[in-house]
Structure 1
């Protein structure tokens, strides 16, 4: 049984075996003695402890796991012994000292290089990661921003948000792919110290001294401070806007996900009807839409928080890249599902059938409604869904149009054409063939259903019925009052009446394939014969009329005059 102790290493808590703790303590004391009196020794030791803590964190599987002598030995083998890595005070070599085996090449990690940044350090970090000069990377982003519909700017902002900056010495070494050991940490710290020293030596002390002696700021210094203050206020305002927009969008998406997607997932009645239009489950489409739209707005809100809160804790690289991956998966999946749904209407197929009617001198055309039922029904996409006693759903459509043409012989006939969409011509024709439509002919009356039906499994695929009635010359036709809603605009008649007014009178098929009105008033106006357009030296005079409204438009040197009113007819 071994005693364990708790240690705080680089602000990280670890449980460590007592023997392993004593060895680690001796190792750190040896490092401190090795760097005693060295420039930047405190920073070097702090970076070494941070690297050791990082290695311990990678090796433990849970917070309760105890670090043993094995983990300590592995960390020491990675970091190296102090006496093996002592570097001369003035001369630094990238290669390890003689006698020290070369470290294995490390995989580079992507960081933002803040030491060589131009804006956010993204391109400078990609230079280390890709081995491509930062100038070319900046030119690529600029090209994509200008000629790629802003993609370069969006990509740069996303990388700016997701990629962390190389703040510590260990992160800077990871960025360049160098081993994070004692030798390299010491070298990087001393290089930083030398850079600062060079900057200090290059300062014009006389110039600085003269500025110190000044009693106050100049006008331009004050103006610069004011402008800087205004920029900070504007930045805070932008941060607030980003937070409000992101939070409001996420709240709306969450409510939409709950009310639509979750309701479909738990089979709340009525929501499942959306599946009659699309092949994609509603809950899946809602979830993908939530991720596709919500993740970018989450990062907008997070960016606003970063602007407002200086020391806001990062959500971590794992969370950032996980959200990015989830967003890409959602976008790709939605695109595939969208293409699949569009392909369901890519082709239109038709099936036709012709039924001969008995020879008659007159024909009464009636449109009859579907039989009423006390069984439950609902509407989706303009289509009625009815359930039978076995809870089997059927779709009821009313997209039916009737055209009337002259027959080639003395026998009347009815042609029924069924149309539907599908992923192929064969699929469309199969869906069209599944349509059920009924009519009845008795004596001199032709009864046509106002609705046609199909099973719910055929879904809504723009199904429609087009009827063509062929009647011999001289046949007298009459309609029931509701027939006007289903008559085609292609029906020719000698009064130029529209389809709704046409159903109010009795007609006879003449020898030219046109209907001749038998009981229309002599002064009955048509749709085109009572209006006029006059263009002369006085301007443009337009007078348009129909059966209910009158509109008169006159354009001349006095301007435009519009007069609307009720027609006397």
Structure 2
């Protein structure tokens, strides 16, 4: 049973057994002796210790795991022995250059030495192998075309991507192998008197001589399969990043747009207040929706970054739990608001008024017309459930609907009546009935002329609650009626007629209330006569002359216009 020791290596704590600790200690002391008289030795040793700590951390499955001699040997094999590099550098000048091209695995860091703002673009340039200038230009274009949405993505990368501080991290950023040789090389580059000599040394070739062994066929096959899975993982990570970033940018633009529309009162945004039964401001609902939908997109983006970036900094448990809590709170709040909104239409209430029309059918034909109003005729075309927003002659905001229809039925008591039914919905029966009673609808009888409003209005404070108005006229038998052109297509489907409505314009003819309750046409032509009339016509207008005559199967057609004369005869 080995004794365990707690050590602090590059500000990271590890549990290591006594045997492994002794070997690691001897290894580090040997490294210190090898660089004792080297320029920048303190920085070299600090970076080597940081790299060793990083390798130990990667091999640990949990915080309680004890580092054994096996892990120490694996790390020493990666870093190399100090004596492999304690050689006069001049002897390497005549050695042939290495022809091997080892695979370089890059890690994403922020390059703070080449930064303009946070070093994100410079780090991405190293990672993708392109000039940082192009990355910066892409950021500018994406920010412009996303209304500033990509500023959020940049800030997110600034927070999550670590900066390259140590020499080992700078080597990881450029994809160079991190061992004693390359760390020494990188540090020496900072000293002008040694830089040129160190650059010419092929440390990778020297390090590779220490490694022995060969790979068999199955090892190579395993590496190929692993490589393919890594490629698939990277593609999946890119997909998640694109999906998450697109969702966040779209939501950000939507939130910004809603806020602007509310501030400057763009037409159509007023309908939110008209249908909102909870009193919740639109900006708050937009913000809750942003959190409810955006936080999952954020985690998709973060997951994609984790797949692509092995050394991505964690946002921390506090941030994760806070985001999950905020998402859950937003979902619950939106559900509660949705239930409140739905219950606002749970009940339907009606109010009905029925009045006698002081009209004497013996006087003349009853003329029915529908009146509009300039206040409501030329309003914006934005509507919801048939309702539109307008302002009355007092400048007050009102809701109006110009889809009022009327029906004609026979009177049972021999007198003319008008019945007006107003409907509305609400969160209770009394609330619905109260909203229905607040609907304003008028009519006027002038002699033999009945003028119906083709619209109804209600105050904006009553909100949009499925308001509707139905008008029914009860007329005595044999009442003669003429419909004005303003009433065209306003007759309801409950009105019965003795003719086919599809080939008649009702306003062109007189109608009489029949004994069975259906309208009977007084002067309508028969369908056969209409067909014959259509087949025998002579039209003279600004377009020319058009003659079409049929007689016993023979036909004659002649058309005279700007193109000349066309004559056609036949059976």
TM-score, normalised to structure 2, is 0.55
1:312 partner SS: coil
1:419 partner SS: strand
Residue equivalent to 1:360: 361
Give the CA RMSD over aligned residues.
Answer: 3.6
Measured in 2, the distance between the counterparts of 1:293 and 1:525 equals 66
Residue equivalent to 2:38: none
Residues 348, 423 of structure 2: 8 Å contact kept: yes
Measured in 1, the distance between the counterparts of 2:403 and 2:428 equals 22
Measured in 2, the distance between the counterparts of 1:473 and 1:399 equals 28
Residue equivalent to 2:429: 425
**Please, which of 451, 456, 461 is the counterpart of residue 457 of structure 1?**
461
Residue equivalent to 2:233: 235
Residue 334 (str. 1) matches residue 334 (str. 2): yes
- Kindly state the Cα deviation for residue 482 of structure 1 after the two structures are TM-superposed: 2.9
Identify unmatched segments of 5+ residues in structure 1: 1-36, 53-86, 90-166, 174-187, 198-211, 527-569
**Please, which of 236, 253, 256 is the counterpart of residue 254 of structure 2?**
256
Residue equivalent to 1:45: 7
2:478 partner SS: coil
Do the aligned partners of residues 485 and 499 (structure 1) sit closer, same or farther apart at CA in structure 2, a change above 3 Å counting?
farther
**Please, which of 451, 464, 467 is the counterpart of residue 447 of structure 1?**
451
- Kindly state the Cα deviation for residue 392 of structure 1 after the two structures are TM-superposed: 1.8
2:272 partner SS: helix
Measured in 1, the distance between the counterparts of 2:378 and 2:233 equals 61
Do the aligned partners of residues 524 and 518 (structure 1) sit closer, same or farther apart at CA in structure 2, a change above 3 Å counting?
farther
Residue 224 (str. 1) matches residue 222 (str. 2): yes
Residue equivalent to 2:275: 277
- Kindly state the Cα deviation for residue 409 of structure 1 after the two structures are TM-superposed: 1.5
Which of 1 and 2 has greater Rg? 2
Measured in 2, the distance between the counterparts of 1:324 and 1:277 equals 30
Measured in 1, the distance between the counterparts of 2:524 and 2:370 equals 22
Do the aligned partners of residues 493 and 433 (structure 1) sit closer, same or farther apart at CA in structure 2, a change above 3 Å counting?
same
- Kindly state the Cα deviation for residue 399 of structure 1 after the two structures are TM-superposed: 3.0
1:454 partner SS: strand
> Relative contact order (alpha carbons < 8 A, sep ≥ 6): 1 or 2 greater?
2
Aligned residues: 346
Residues 405, 454 of structure 2: 8 Å contact kept: no
Residue equivalent to 1:471: 475
Measured in 1, the distance between the counterparts of 2:247 and 2:329 equals 20
- Kindly state the Cα deviation for residue 312 of structure 1 after the two structures are TM-superposed: 0.7
Residue equivalent to 2:415: 411
- Kindly state the Cα deviation for residue 390 of structure 1 after the two structures are TM-superposed: 5.2
| Structure 1 residues 283-294: aligned runs within 5 Å | 283-294=283-294
1:296 partner SS: helix
Measured in 2, the distance between the counterparts of 1:38 and 1:48 equals 24
Measured in 2, the distance between the counterparts of 1:231 and 1:462 equals 57
Measured in 2, the distance between the counterparts of 1:259 and 1:436 equals 35
- Kindly state the Cα deviation for residue 423 of structure 1 after the two structures are TM-superposed: 0.7
Measured in 2, the distance between the counterparts of 1:274 and 1:189 equals 58
- Kindly state the Cα deviation for residue 330 of structure 1 after the two structures are TM-superposed: 0.7
| Structure 1 residues 26-175: aligned runs within 5 Å | 39-41=3-5, 44-46=6-8
Residues 40, 193 of structure 1: 8 Å contact kept: no
Residue equivalent to 1:164: none
Residue equivalent to 2:323: 323
Residues 375, 387 of structure 1: 8 Å contact kept: no
**CA displacement 1:289-326 (0-9 Å, x = unmatched):** 11111110011011111111110111111111111111
Measured in 1, the distance between the counterparts of 2:223 and 2:65 equals 34
- Kindly state the Cα deviation for residue 388 of structure 1 after the two structures are TM-superposed: 4.1
Residues 377, 387 of structure 1: 8 Å contact kept: no
Do the aligned partners of residues 276 and 226 (structure 1) sit closer, same or farther apart at CA in structure 2, a change above 3 Å counting?
same
1:291 partner SS: helix
Measured in 1, the distance between the counterparts of 2:511 and 2:416 equals 16
2:525 partner SS: coil
1:421 partner SS: strand
Do the aligned partners of residues 327 and 321 (structure 1) sit closer, same or farther apart at CA in structure 2, a change above 3 Å counting?
same
Measured in 2, the distance between the counterparts of 1:274 and 1:500 equals 42
- Kindly state the Cα deviation for residue 378 of structure 1 after the two structures are TM-superposed: 7.4
Measured in 1, the distance between the counterparts of 2:229 and 2:354 equals 78
Measured in 2, the distance between the counterparts of 1:460 and 1:478 equals 35
Identify unmatched segments of 5+ residues in structure 2: 20-56, 73-210, 531-571
- Kindly state the Cα deviation for residue 46 of structure 1 after the two structures are TM-superposed: 2.5
Measured in 2, the distance between the counterparts of 1:497 and 1:374 equals 28
**Please, which of 493, 501, 517 is the counterpart of residue 513 of structure 1?**
517
**CA displacement 1:63-102 (0-9 Å, x = unmatched):** xxxxxxxxxxxxxxxxxxxxxxxx999xxxxxxxxxxxxx
Residues 369, 483 of structure 2: 8 Å contact kept: yes
